[in-house]
Chain A
Amino acid sequence: MATPATVHSHAPQGFIRKYIFSLDHKVIGIQYFFLALTAVWVGMILSLLMRIHMIWPTATLPLIGDIKPETYLALMTMHGTIMVFFVLTTAPQGGFGNYVLPIQIGAPDMAFPVLNMLSFWTTFVAFVVMLAAFFVTGGPPLHGWTGYPPLSAIQSAGPGEALGADLWITSIAIFCVASLMGALNFITTTLDLRAKGMTMMRMPLTVWSWFITAILGLLAFGVLLSAGILLLMDRNMGTSFYVPLTVVNGQVLAHKGGSPLLWQHLFWFFGHPEVYIAILPGMGVASQVLSTFSRKPIFGYKAMVYAMLAIGFLGFMVWGHHMFMSGMSPYSAFTFSILTMCIGVPSAIKTFNWLGTMWKGHIRFQTPMLYAIGFVSLFVSGGLSGPFLAQPVLDIQLHDTAFVPAHFHLIMGVAAIFGIFAATHYWFPKMFGRMMNETLGRIHFFITLAGTYAIFMPMHYLGMAGQTRRYSQFTEVAYLQKLIPLNTFITWAAIITVAAQLLFVINLFWSLFKGPKAPDNPWDATTLEWTTTTPPPHDNFGGVTPEVHHGPYEYGVPGAPKDFIMQTDPPTVSGH
C-alpha cells in the first residue's frame, strides 16, 4: 500500500510515472479535469444536434446525415449519460476535489494514492466503453440516461438496444466501481489526514462539500451497481427482474412477471443523491469564492455545514418524487412530496447565507466571483421550479413536458457547471502557476449566463404549454405550431452559448502557456492551498507540515494587520 509517507519522500521521475500513471493527487485531479472537459464537449455537441433537429427535422447534417427518431433518442441518451456521469460527477469531485482537498486539509496526498490512480483510470476506461457504443452495430442505446426497462432490458427493442446498450450498462457499472474507490479515498483522507489544528469545524466548506458528496457516492453507487447487474442479467441471461410479459414485433418474449418499477426504485434511490453529488461541490466552491471575494466571513458557517448534511440526508428519502407517474399510492406520493419540500429549508438557508455573506461586503467582481454569483442565481432560478414538481398533482401534468428538463438543467446542470467555472478560474493560478485572462473570462461569463437563461427559461413555458419531451419531431403537430418560434429562439441561443464556450477553452489554453505568472496567493485568500507555493510542490508543502490556528474564512477581522487572517497564521495574529 502506498502511503503519503512514501510519496512524501521524492517525486517520481519519468514521463509515464509523473504524468500518466501518477500517484500525485494533483496530477490525478488535472487528469480528471481534462477528461471532463473532453466529455463536456461531446455532450454539448450531442445536445446541439438535438436542438438543430427539433427545428429543422429534415435537415441533413454533416457526418451524421439524416437524424431518424431512433438517432434522436440515441443522442439524448448519450448526452444525458455523458453529462451526468462524466462531467457533473467527474469534474467537481474527481477533478477539483482531488486536487484541492488534500492541500486544504494540510495533507501531503490522498490516503490511498494507488487507489486514487486506479479510480481515475477506471473512470477513463468507463468513458472509452461509453464512447464505443457510438461505433458498434446499431449505435448507442435509446433508453435515455435513466435506462428504464423494458426498453433497456430487451435486446430486440430497438437499434441501439443490442450491443450498444450492453456497452452503456457496462460503462455505468465500471463508473460505479471507480466512483466507489474515489469516495472511499475522499472519506478516509478527510477523516484521517487533517493537519494539526484542522478540526472538522475549521475545514473549508469546499472540504465539507466533497466529504458529504463522497458519503453520498459511497452509499448511492453501490445501489446503481446492483441495479445494473440485474439489468445485464435480464438482457443476457433470461431472468425477469424488470421485464414483464412482453411482446416485441408480434413475438412473445420468454420474460415474465418482472417489474419495470423495481428498476425505477433502485435507479432513483441512486439518482436523486446523484443530483446532490453534482451540485454539493458547487455549493462548497460558491461559499469559498463568495466569502473570499466579499472579504467577509461566510455567513453562518455552522448552518452551512448542517444544511449540507441535511440536504445529503434528505437526498436519500425523496427518490419517489421521480415516480409520481408510476401510479404509486397517494399516501406514498404525499410522503415523498413533503420530504421533497423539506429540502427547500436547508437550500433556503444556504441561499440566504450566501446573500448574507455578500451583504455590505467589499465585493471584488473578478471572474471567479461572477461565476459564484451566477451559481447562486441559477440555483435559485432552477430551485424555484422544484416545489412545482414536488407536488404530485402538478407533476403528473408537467412530468413529460419540457418543464422538467428546464428545471433540472438549471439547477443540476448549469448551476453545477457554473460551480466548475468558478472553481476553474479560482484555482487555475494554483494549479498551473498562471493567471487566466479576466476580460475573456468576463465576456464568457456574461454570454454564458444570458445564453443559459435564454435556453432554459422559455422551456418552462413550453412545458406549461404542453410540449412533450423526448419526442424527436413536433413541427407537424398542430397544437405545437405556435411554439415553433420560441423553439427556434432556444436553438439559436444554444448555438451561440455553445460557441461561446470556445472562449473558455481559448482562455484556458492561452493562459496555460501565456498567462501572467501567478503569485502564491493572488486572491488574498485564507485557506491552506494559498499558503504553499504556486504550483504546489510534490508533497504540497515542501516538507513542512502546516499547523492550523484559525478558521477558514477570517476576512475583515477588526484590528487585524491585514483584511484576512490565513489559517496557518500564528494564534497571536487576530483582531481586537
Chain B
Amino acid sequence: MATYTPTTRLDDIGHKPPEPPARGGGGNGRGGEYPDYGARLRRARVGLICAIATVCMVFMALTSAYIFRRGLPTLDDGGTSYVRDWGGVDLPWLLLGINTAILLASSLTVELARRQVARQAALSPVQSIPGVSLGRESRIPWLGVTAILGCAFLVGQWLAWRRLNDFGFYVNTNPSSSFVFLLTIAHAVHLAGGMIAMVWAASTSLMHKPIESRRIVVDITAWYWHFMAVLWIYIFALLTVAR
C-alpha cells in the first residue's frame, strides 16, 4: 500500500494553512472573480476584527464608567459633606480562579479544534486518492470539548453570582456590586454568543457542508473564543486591581 508522505509538517498547517491563490474578493483592488474559500476565510476574519472592535468599545465604555463612578464623591445622607459610596465587593476568588482556568483550558482546546479542522481541510483532497493513507489522525472532538468547558465556565459564573448573593451582594447593593454583576454578565452574554457559533459549527458538520465551510466557521469561532478569554482576564484584572 502506498503511503502518503507530506512535504509540509502537519503541525505547520495549523499555524499557516495553505490557501488557494486569491482570485476573488478585493484587497487593494486585486480581486473581483468568483470568491474561493481562501477569500471567504479572509473576509470572515475581517468581519470578525470589526466585531471584536465593537465589543472592545462596549467594554471600554463600561470600563470608563467603572473608573468614573469609582472615583466619584457623593453627598452623604445629611447632604453636608462628600463621601465615597463605592462600597466594594467580596469576590469569590477561588470560584472565579477555577472559572478562569476552565476558560483558559477551553481556549487551548478550541485552538486544537481550529488546527484539527484546518488540517482536515488541507488534506481532504489527498484523502480521496485511492490507496493513499494519511496515517493516524486524532479523533478527539476538540470543538465538543470546548463547548463542554464553555458550559462549565457559564455554570461556574452562575455559581459565582449565587455566592455573591450569599455574601449579601446584589446588583443594586452598591456601585461596586452593580459593576461586578454588569461586567461579568455582559461577558457571559458575549461568551454565550460564542457557544451559539459553536453549535453552528457543529451543525455544518451534521449538514454535510464542505470541510472548507466548516473550517471558516471554526476558525472564526476560535479567534472569537480566544478574544473572550483575553476579555475575561481583563475584566478579572480590573475587578481585582481597581476594587
- Tell yes or no: B217 within 8 A of A by CB: yes
B85 touches A256 (CB 8 A): yes
Contacts of A192 in B (CB 8 A): 25-27, 31, 39, 42-43, 46
Given A8-B34, A256-B85, A238 and B61 touching (CB < 8 A)? no
Contacts of B51 in A (CB 8 A): 184
Contacts of B64 in A (CB 8 A): 265-266
A223 touches B46 (CB 8 A): no
In the complex, A238 Cα to B69 Cα: how many Å? 16
Contacts of B31 in A (CB 8 A): 192-196
Given A226-B61, A257-B175, A545 and B43 touching (CB < 8 A)? no
Taken residue by residue from 55 to 93, chain B's Cβ proximity to chain A (1 for < 8 Å, 0 otherwise) reads as 111111110110011001011000100000100000000
From A199, A256, A266, B65 is in contact (CB under 8 Å) with A266
Taken residue by residue from 1 to 22, chain A's Cβ proximity to chain B (1 for < 8 Å, 0 otherwise) reads as 1011100100000000000000
- Tell yes or no: A188 within 8 A of B by CB: yes
Which residue of the partner chain A has the closest CB to B177?
A239
B61 touches A187 (CB 8 A): no
B47 touches A199 (CB 8 A): no
From B43, B57, B60, B65, A111 is in contact (CB under 8 Å) with B43
Which residue of the partner chain B has the closest CB to A195?
B32
B61 touches A223 (CB 8 A): yes
Contacts of A218 in B (CB 8 A): 50, 53-54, 57
Taken residue by residue from 101 to 129, chain A's Cβ proximity to chain B (1 for < 8 Å, 0 otherwise) reads as 00001110001100100000000000000
- Tell yes or no: A546 within 8 A of B by CB: yes
- Tell yes or no: A345 within 8 A of B by CB: no
- Tell yes or no: A478 within 8 A of B by CB: no
From B28, B40, B44, B182, A233 is in contact (CB under 8 Å) with B182
B29 touches A548 (CB 8 A): yes
Interface pick from A25-33, A138-146, A240-248, A399-407: A240-248
Contacts of B175 in A (CB 8 A): 239-241, 257-258
Interface bin, chain A: 35 or more
B29 → chain A closest CB, angstroms:
4
In the complex, A241 Cα to B29 Cα: how many Å? 47
A265 touches B68 (CB 8 A): yes
Contacts of B171 in A (CB 8 A): 233, 237-239
Taken residue by residue from 16 to 46, chain B's Cβ proximity to chain A (1 for < 8 Å, 0 otherwise) reads as 0000000011111111111100011011101
Which residue of the partner chain A has the closest CB to B33?
A545
- Tell yes or no: B178 within 8 A of A by CB: yes
Interface bin, chain B: 35 or more
- Tell yes or no: B117 within 8 A of A by CB: no
A1 touches B65 (CB 8 A): no
B29 touches A1 (CB 8 A): no
- Tell yes or no: A563 within 8 A of B by CB: no
From B59, B69, B172, A259 is in contact (CB under 8 Å) with B69
A-B contacts at CB below 8 angstroms, number: 157
Given A187-B46, A226-B65, A239-B178, A1 and B216 touching (CB < 8 A)? yes
In the complex, A240 Cα to B68 Cα: how many Å? 13
Contacts of B43 in A (CB 8 A): 3, 111, 188, 192-193
B62 touches A226 (CB 8 A): yes
In the complex, A189 Cα to B26 Cα: how many Å? 9
B29 touches A245 (CB 8 A): no
From B30, B54, B58, A196 is in contact (CB under 8 Å) with B30
- Tell yes or no: A36 within 8 A of B by CB: no
Given A219-B57, A266-B65, A188 and B27 touching (CB < 8 A)? no
B43 → chain A closest CB, angstroms:
5
B32 touches A546 (CB 8 A): yes
- Tell yes or no: A296 within 8 A of B by CB: no
B34 touches A188 (CB 8 A): no
- Tell yes or no: A425 within 8 A of B by CB: no
Contacts of B85 in A (CB 8 A): 256-257
Which residue of the partner chain B has the closest CB to A545?
B32
A188 touches B65 (CB 8 A): no
- Tell yes or no: A414 within 8 A of B by CB: no
- Tell yes or no: A191 within 8 A of B by CB: yes
A193 touches B29 (CB 8 A): no
Which residue of the partner chain B has the closest CB to A270?
B61
In the complex, A24 Cα to B96 Cα: how many Å? 46
Which residue of the partner chain B has the closest CB to A199?
B29
Given A258-B69, A266-B61, A112 and B29 touching (CB < 8 A)? no
7 nearest A-B residue pairs (beta carbon): A194-B26, A238-B172, A222-B57, A257-B74, A226-B61, A195-B32, A198-B29
Q: Which residues of A contact B (CB under 8 A)?
A: 1, 3-5, 8, 105-107, 111-112, 115, 180, 183-185, 187-188, 191-200, 202, 218-223, 225-227, 229-230, 233, 237-241, 244-245, 254, 256-259, 262, 265-266, 269, 545-548
Q: Which residues of B contact A (CB under 8 A)?
A: 24-35, 39-40, 42-44, 46-47, 50-51, 53-62, 64-65, 68-69, 72, 74-75, 79, 85, 171-172, 175, 178, 182, 186, 213, 216-217
**18 A-B pairs with C-beta separation under 8 A:** A5-B34, A107-B32, A184-B50, A184-B54, A188-B43, A193-B26, A195-B26, A198-B26, A218-B57, A219-B54, A227-B65, A233-B178, A238-B172, A244-B74, A257-B175, A262-B68, A265-B68, A266-B64
Known: A199-B29, A200-B29, A257-B74. 8 other contacts (CB 8 A): A192-B42, A218-B50, A222-B61, A230-B182, A238-B172, A239-B171, A254-B172, A262-B68
